[in-house]
Structure 1
Amino acid sequence: MTAKSAPVHIFPGKGLGFITLGASLHNVLTRVKSHPQIYPAIDLAYSSNDPLRNPVVLQLPSNGLRLRFDGPDQRLRLIEVLDFSRVDLVYKNQDVLKGGKTTEQPTSSQGPSFRHVYNRLFGPSYPGEYISPPDQSPYGTYVLSYPGVAFSFPCNTPPATSMSIFQGSSWPEVRANLFTQQPQYPRASAVVSKTRDSFADEVEEFHILGAGKLEASRRTGPPVPIILGETSPQDLIAEFGPPDAIYRKHDRRISIHRANGTGGADPLNPNLSPGRGMDLPDTDHSSTNSITDDSDEETSAGQVSDPGSLPAESFFNYFHHGFDAFISHPSTPGPAFPASGMPDPTAPALPSTQLAVTKIILHGNVPGSYPFNRHRRSRWTIHLDQASEGLNAESPYDEISERLRGVWKGSYSSPGEERATQRPMVLNRGWGDSPESSVEFLGGWEETTAKGQRSGADGHDGGLGNTELFGFPGLLFEVLKNGAVSSLTVY
């Protein structure tokens, strides 16, 4: 969308060029970053204190564009053209900027005239909206609105200063619920014009039911059940399509460095109650992996024709669905939530030689986190019982911790065991000889306050100590300093 780029077509209520309303932040940002010659500058603005509730703004200053995404779902809600001189806009084969743009034209944010928009491009419309000027400004703004597109004109000069593309019949009608209404188009822009049979139905949300049971609600199709220890790799491929990558994991394990340096039993965590303590599953998210020479390897999904030929441990990476699945020999998953009425899981019925999904890692794609933009955001709800409202992916961890402590209270053999299992562990990635994909625990169990509060409010992963792991039976939370859950492992 620079001086050398092709004209960009406007689709009112749908999008601008390849950028489609409803597309995920991961989808748009990945495509933009893959064309640095066209998009040389990328600015991302978000709330460091509350990145999951406030909008995320992606600005392309060299292209005169600003894209606004909602915080909880990270889907594109508003496309704004702020500088008409930096993009060749076309609507139904007519130039939006009268006379078109040439490379000799001086840089200016001046846009199309009111007459050009009203008489030639879009035709008559309902009366526009007058917006009073801000403080110390003598002129207000007149917004001329059409279904799915609107132009802003300063009342003192005729040319438009900006254009907005949105989903809805008019700007005044959609403005109030712009970030909360249900998007019409899918998260992946590339599938907008394709038939449903040509791509896997996208996942809207994961419902965590306990006892190793999850349910993935989808955009159009029926929900997909996932049972840890029973769902096979073939089942995943049939429901979600082939993975974007397969990370083969062989004999490596997480290194746990105890504070006393002995490497023996944890003196803070002796004799945990079976099934009730914090089992430390392999939390390697395998979404930032580099191919290394010590038995870990990432493979394109197209290179694996038979899931049955996979090694004993591997990850299926679904970057566009927002989750990873750990494939290994069947094991008994975490227990049921005490108030759910579900029975605790029994030993796997599958043969020990048959591979199954044993862990699901749901990625939050929190701006400022280390793995940001590796996956698109995955939303989830934990259903603790049938009566109360569940915990969700936007819940601050302090709230999640308080609820889960109440749920599991009385399920431990002693108060000491309860305290030991709910202390955080510091998480480090890509430090020293550890590959980028690995997760390494540093130090012992760290002391924390009763509610698991953390100091600091920034969401930037600058290295050591930015994230901590908190565990409850069957659940492992990776939490940023601002309280946002970066990922949730269900095992």
Structure 2
Amino acid sequence: MSSPSPSLLSAQLHPGRALGFFVLGASLHDILTRVKAEPQRFPKIDVYMDSKDPVHGKIHVGLPANGLRLAFDGPEQRLRLIEILDFTKNHVFLKPANDKERDLVRPPSSSPTADATPGPTFRHIYQRFLGPTYGGEFIKSSGNEGNYVLSYPGVAFVFVMKASDYSPQKDVVSLLPSSAIPASMAVFSGESWAQARKTMWTEILPSVKTFAPLAKGKDVCPDEVSLVKIHGGGKLQLFRKWTNNSFWIFLGETTPQQIVAELGPPDSIYRKNDQRMYIHKLRGQSNTMPRPNEKDLRQDDTTESDQSSHLASDEYDSNEEAVEEDIANVSTECFYNYFYLGFDVLVSTPVQPSELPPSQVGNPNLPEPLVKSSSPNRLVATKLILHGNVPGSYPFNRHRRCRWEIPYLTGDNIINSETPFEETEEKLREAWRSPTKQRGMALNRGWGESPGSSIEMLGGWEEQASKKGGGVGSDNTTTTLFGFPGTAFEVLKNGYVSAVTVF
């Protein structure tokens, strides 16, 4: 029995900003979570990336049943380009003010549900949509054919044209017949397609919160944390996007109330269970840092659950009222899960944070908490798990990507979330004066229990992943765990870091 065909996708076009709810600057996690929540509307999702370097190269999300392709940059995973590749599978309009404006890319006689309409004509675009513009750009492809790109601010149309028909002396009206139908359309940030190509993948895009159609009564997402600086000694500095503001989390001192005041309520709360997970303790290692033995490995704080749609379970509270009540009455160890910020916070009774790296001892630029409490029963933040959301990794799309830096590691390059771990490890050994290269510990995300790992998955994630076929990169479930004072790195086979635990 064949699956039902999706209904025709209708989307409002905002040149330079959005196509429907696909807003330029939105995170890969936000977009995938949204489309996965509507399987009838988006029955097929394809994710493409360079498996050898998924954190620098482009990430493409194809929606073939809807005729769309979305392109994200690798480091920040922000939506940079929206392409319509098949006009017969969608209905795009400028604004839903009246019926006359709803036929933006379809002839007026077309039915909104008709599948045979090939798309807009040049006359329709030129006369009824965007009006006159500068001459287009001809890009030769192969043989005697090429693409003629007709650009407007924030949107461009691609027409297939023979090279012999193009002449730079002809204007656009002379080059394109009124019945010409574009092969595709692109939505981007910039004055023209030629200008946008130079800065598309690196420019700072505005917050999606500034996009008026989405800002209706309630914030669509919390204020972003764009970067976490790991200073050692349990000191973390969190920077907010689009501002110069930052705030500090002091492990062993910062309270749940302070976390909520800065970050807002968590997306869900996970209550720790005695038998279901282990905390990975790497404290107290000598400077030589040999491979930790089993006595040093206890309860790892890796929160595994299929939260791509952020569904509630017996262990997780994702109901907003329940979460707010739990925040007010939290009295036991638990995780604050910030899926849309890209990290989890372990709240527990105070534990002495790791030591400062030798180069940071006595650094006057490192602040101390304003108030220190000596109560042994109070609850404080004791660990942070920063998630990389690397395409191809086992927990892909459970959290938004969280970028981080380690400022105390000196050198020509900044050591951060995009640095291959081989380079990061070398700098860490130098900083901690450890001449011996340690052995990694195997961690398998696809097995219920991994004999080579001290980390046990939370129930439900393995079963759900196996039913779904593992998702993107299901064959890349094995990572290697490397521990240094104050940090534990999960490293993928391609050498990039999937997650960092700071304690």
The two structures share one fold, judged by TM-score above 0.5: yes
Matching residue of 1:148? 154
Equivalences for residues 420-459 of structure 1 within 5 A = 422-429=438-445, 431-432=447-448, 439-440=455-456
Matching residue of 2:142? 135
Paired with 2:20 and 2:41, the residues of 1 have a C-alpha distance of 13
**Is residue 110 of structure 2 the alignment partner of residue 86 of structure 1?**
no
Classify the secondary structure of the residue corresponding to 1:205: strand
**Is residue 490 of structure 2 the alignment partner of residue 473 of structure 1?**
no
Moved more, 269-278 or 203-212: 269-278
Equivalences for residues 73-472 of structure 1 within 5 A = 73-92=76-95, 93-95=101-103, 96-99=105-108, 101-102=110-111, 105=114, 107=116, 110-132=118-140, 134-136=141-143, 138-156=144-162, 158-186=180-208, 192-194=214-216, 200-220=222-242, 222-252=245-275, 272-273=285-286, 280=297, 282-288=299-305, 297-300=315-318, 302-304=321-323, 305-307=325-327, 309-342=329-362, 349-384=373-408, 389-409=413-433, 418=436, 422-429=438-445, 431-432=447-448, 439-440=455-456, 460-462=473-475, 466-472=478-484
Classify the secondary structure of the residue corresponding to 1:7: strand
Deviation at 1:61, TM superposition (A): 0.4
The answer to whether the Cα contact below 8 Å between 1:323 and 1:360 also exists between their aligned partners in 2 is yes
Matching residue of 1:490? 502
Paired with 2:356 and 2:183, the residues of 1 have a C-alpha distance of 57
The answer to whether the Cα contact below 8 Å between 1:129 and 1:143 also exists between their aligned partners in 2 is yes
The answer to whether the Cα contact below 8 Å between 1:326 and 1:358 also exists between their aligned partners in 2 is yes
Deviation at 1:94, TM superposition (A): 3.8
- Structure 1 residue runs without a partner (length 5+): 258-268, 442-458
Amino acid at match of 1:324: D
Number of aligned residue pairs: 443
**Is residue 35 of structure 2 the alignment partner of residue 32 of structure 1?**
yes
Paired with 1:405 and 1:373, the residues of 2 have a C-alpha distance of 31
Change (3 A) 1:20 1:396: same
Change (3 A) 1:74 1:6: closer
Change (3 A) 1:318 1:255: closer
The answer to whether the Cα contact below 8 Å between 1:208 and 1:382 also exists between their aligned partners in 2 is yes
Q: What's the RMSD between the two structures over aligned residues?
A: 3.4
Classify the secondary structure of the residue corresponding to 2:353: coil
Paired with 1:337 and 1:271, the residues of 2 have a C-alpha distance of 13
Q: Which has the higher helix share?
A: 2
- Structure 2 residue runs without a partner (length 5+): 96-100, 163-176, 308-312, 458-471
The answer to whether the Cα contact below 8 Å between 1:200 and 1:239 also exists between their aligned partners in 2 is no
Deviation at 1:339, TM superposition (A): 1.7
Cα distance per residue 1:381-420 (max 9 Å; x no partner): 111157865311000111111111111125xxxx7xx55x
Deviation at 1:4, TM superposition (A): 3.2
Paired with 2:44 and 2:350, the residues of 1 have a C-alpha distance of 47
Change (3 A) 1:150 1:276: same
